[in-house]
A and B are shown apart, each in its own frame.
Chain A
Amino acid sequence: MSAAVSATRRQQTISAWIFLAVPVALFAVFLLLPVLMAIGLSLTDYAVIGDFEWVGVDNYARIVDDPIFWVAVRNTALYTVLYVPAGVVVALGTALLLNRSSRVSRVFRTLFYIPVVSSTVATAAIWFWLLNPQYGLLNAVLGWFGINGPAWLYESRWAMIAIVMMSVWAGFGANMIIYLGALQGVPGELVDAARVDGAGAFRVFWHVTLPAISRATFLILTLLLIAAFQVFDQAYVLTKGGPGNSTLTLVYYIYDRGFGRLEMGYASALSFVLFLAILVFSVINARVTGRENDR
């Protein structure tokens, strides 16, 4: 009997590794190897063509003194500071609106979700037309209220704000769905008890609903932060980083160094710095979330 069991077990082990072979091989070649290569490349001046040399930490020293790097950091930080809170507030607000089980609210859930389906490029193309200073729908609507809309993508003061608006529009539906799921889990008795005790709608929301959905909030915050740090498509399609570098983001800068100017050693160092920043925020978030869960 035990011989039969161990034979089955051996059979299962062999089968399992055959079943896992392709994903494990791809993991090794397209994740493990590239991460190790990125560390190595970041210590060289590799530039695709010609010889390359070991330069130690020179690339990292260069980053510190690179003014355009700091422009990219500032732009990415501005995008993050505007996009993350707006993304959370809009997602939560729409989820609260639709948090009722009726056919009508399911229809609106679908309508709210539609921008998520389109690609960033298609969304950007639509917004490129919406944001047209003369013929765009946005400035036409602002005009009805007597507001003279700016030239959006052609003004360095407004270009990033336009990109943030577009990104919130394009992405809030996905996080709204996460919030709707979390709101289902808010204990109804708790809400009723608070109401009976005379708490108003806002106090119920602040002291009962919000704490009950804190896990979803942290998840969404982490997702939004990681996405914000890596924003690229919108800036590339809409403004090519301009006007006057006002929408040059970190990933855009890495792309430009690595594939525009083929400075792949320097680009690797830059991407490693960004990777560390993302890692730090992920760990902080994981810690905070972990502590919340322990309670």
Chain B
Amino acid sequence: MSTLTTAPAGTPAPTATTVRTETRPPTARAVLGKTVWTLAVVLISVTTVMPLIWTLSTSLKPEGEILSSYLQFVPENPTLANYVTLFTDGPFGRYLANSAIIALGGVATNLFFGGLAGYALAKLSFRGRGVVFSLFLGSMMVPGIITMVPTFLVLRRFPLVGGNDLFGEGGAGFINSYGAVLIPFAAGPFAVFFMRQFFQALPDELGDAARIDGASEFRIFWNIYLPLARAGLAVLGVLTFQAGWNSFLWPLIALNDPEMLTVQVGLAGYVNEYQTEYGPLLAGTILASLPVLIVFIFAQRYIIENFAHSGTK
């Protein structure tokens, strides 16, 4: 804490006698503490980051090199063969496209409907507002497992969809279509809650002024409040994209047509096979992680900061 600003830390100040007496070099104890700290955080970082780098490195090795020189970090003959195999031997491109449609579709619907509903709960006064808010808040506590089987049946027996008649008989309903994953999560309670918190922090006067000028409630929402909530929308968008791209159990249940698998479900099929081929598996892992990692790198400060707030408030 008492590091000097006139000289770089650690180097004794050239005019030590004229500067205040606090300029004495750090004690042995402080140096030791700093060293232990650095060692600890570097070691932990190695355990969190190294597996990813090792995965990337292995995915770039030719088949013969993967097991024979498994400890070598830099591939001797780097190749993209494993990535090519993924796209030529299986529908991995299709998996990526399916995941992109589901993740981006989820972002669009959650931002729009979550924004609308969150705005209504924060800025419009009407009877029943407290009840609706409590219901959304309470539904976040309901574990997904209890609704798993019934939700499947609701989607399968949905009337007049996917070959079903009016009574939900005859077809597969929404099962094996994007709707099976998009619709149940199109406006999650978290999105509503998150946007409500955001709109609540904005002043009421903006809307009141526009109301006197005769603007409709939707225009007030769309033209005045929504642009001010851009930061909140960005964070919610990133979180929703991550959740949609990474989701596993529900797509595993609702999409089992080989053409409809998401990248996570498709990738899971490569693990623990009778004879695991590590090259394509780890190349697929890199591709399945890349979109969320890129989004995270760009948005990490907002995400981490927002997360810290949601935990303490």
Are the C-beta atoms of A169 and B48 separated by less than 8 Å?
A: yes
What residues make up the interface of A, taking CB atoms closer than 8 Å to B?
A: 8-9, 11-13, 15-17, 19-20, 22-24, 26-27, 29-31, 33-35, 37-38, 41, 94, 97-98, 105, 108-115, 117-122, 124-130, 135, 137, 140, 153, 169, 173-174, 177-178, 180-182, 184-185, 215-216, 219, 226, 229-230, 232-233, 236-240, 251, 254-255, 258-259, 264, 267-268, 271-272, 274-275, 278, 282
Shortest CB distance A244–B (Å): 15
In the complex, which residue of chain B has the Cβ closest to the Cβ of A174?
B307
Say yes or no: B146 contacts A97, CB within 8 Å.
no
Give the shortest distance, in Å, between B88 (CB) and chain A (any CB). 20
Instruction: Bits for B141-163, please: 1 = Cβ < 8 Å to A, else 0.
Output: 11111111111111000000000
Q: Which residues of A contact B107 (CB under 8 A)?
A: none
Interface residues of B in 183-221 (CB under 8 A from A): 183-184, 186-187, 189, 192, 211, 216-218, 221
A282 to chain B, nearest CB (A): 6
A84 to chain B, nearest CB (A): 16
Whether A30 and B184, one on each chain, are in contact in the complex, defined by CB atoms closer than 8 angstroms, is: yes
- Residues of B at the A interface (CB closer than 8 Å) are 37, 40-41, 44-45, 47-52, 54-55, 58, 67, 70-71, 113-114, 116-117, 119-121, 124-127, 129, 132, 135-136, 139, 141-154, 183-184, 186-187, 189, 192, 211, 216-218, 221, 242, 245-246, 248-249, 252-253, 264-265, 267-268, 270-272, 276, 278, 281-282, 284-285, 288-289, 292-293, 296, 300, 304, 307-309, 311-312
23 contacts between A and B (CB under 8 A): A9-B125, A9-B126, A13-B124, A17-B120, A17-B126, A20-B132, A22-B116, A22-B117, A30-B154, A31-B142, A38-B147, A110-B304, A114-B48, A117-B293, A119-B289, A125-B267, A125-B288, A137-B54, A177-B311, A184-B312, A232-B249, A254-B148, A255-B148
Contact of B312 among A20, A26, A181 (CB under 8 A): A181
Given that A29-B154, A177-B311, A180-B308 are known contacts, is A125 also in contact with B282, CB under 8 Å in the complex? yes
**CB neighbours of A174 from chain B (8 A):** 307
**Known A22-B113, A125-B284, A226-B143: A16·B272 in contact at CB below 8 Å:** no
Bound complex: CA A182 to CA B129 (Å): 31
Main secondary structure of the interface of B (DSSP, over half): helix
Residues A178 and B67 in contact, CB atoms below 8 Å apart: no
The 5 A-B residue pairs whose C-beta atoms are closest, nearest first, are A178-B311, A181-B308, A34-B150, A119-B246, A15-B217
When distances are taken between beta carbons in the complex, the residues of chain A under 8 Å from B304 are 109-110, 113, 177
A10 — nearest CB in chain B belongs to which residue? B126
Query: How many Å lie between the Cα of A119 and that of B152 in the bound state?
Result: 23
B264 touches A121 (CB 8 A): yes
Please report the C-alpha to C-alpha distance between residue A22 and residue B120 in the assembled complex, in whole angstroms.
12
Assembled-state Cα–Cα distance A162/B235 (Å): 33
| Given A97-B37, A117-B296, A268-B272 contact (CB < 8 Å) | no
Give A38 to B187 CA distance when docked, in angstroms. 22
Assess the B48–A112 pair: CB atoms within 8 A. yes
Complex interface: chain A residues within 8 A of B192 (CB) = 23
Q: Give complex CA distance A26, B230 in Å.
A: 25
Given contacts A111-B45, A177-B308, contact A27 B135 (CB under 8 A): yes
> Which residue of B has the minimal Cβ distance to A31?
B139
Q: Is the CB of B248 within 8 A of A233?
A: yes
State A182–B136 Cα separation when bound (angstroms): 26
Q: What are the residues of chain A within 8 A of B67 when measuring CB–CB?
A: 135
CB distance from A231 to the nearest CB of B (A): 11
Residue of A nearest to B300 (CB): A110
Question: Inside 8 A of B136's CB, which chain A residues have their CB?
Answer: 23, 27
Chain B residue numbers with a CB within 8 Å of A23 are 113-114, 117, 136, 187, 189, 192
Q: Are B276 and A128 in contact (CB under 8 A)?
A: yes
Indicate if the CB atoms of B142 and A15 lie closer than 8 Å: no
In the bound complex, residues from chain B placing their C-beta under 8 Å from that of A180 are 308
Q: Let me know if B37 and A11 touch, CB within 8 A.
A: no
Q: Which of A13, A118, A274 contacts B145 (CB 8 A)?
A: A274
CA distance A169 to B46 in the complex (A): 12
Q: Are A34 and B146 in contact (CB-based, < 8 A)?
A: yes
What is the CA–CA distance of A229 and B183 in the complex, to the nearest angstrom? 26
Inter-subunit contact A24/B146 (CB<8 Å): no
Contact with A237, one of B184, B268, B282 (Cβ below 8 angstroms): B268
Set of chain B residues within 8 Å of A112, measured between Cβ atoms: 44-45, 48
Chain A contacts for B152, CB-based, 8 A: 258-259
CB distance from A148 to the nearest CB of B (A): 17
The answer to whether A237 and B272 touch (CB under 8 A), given A117-B293, A216-B311, is yes
Are A267 and B184 in contact, with the CB atoms below 8 A? no
Known: A26-B187, A30-B151, A35-B142. A128 touches B49 (CB 8 A): no
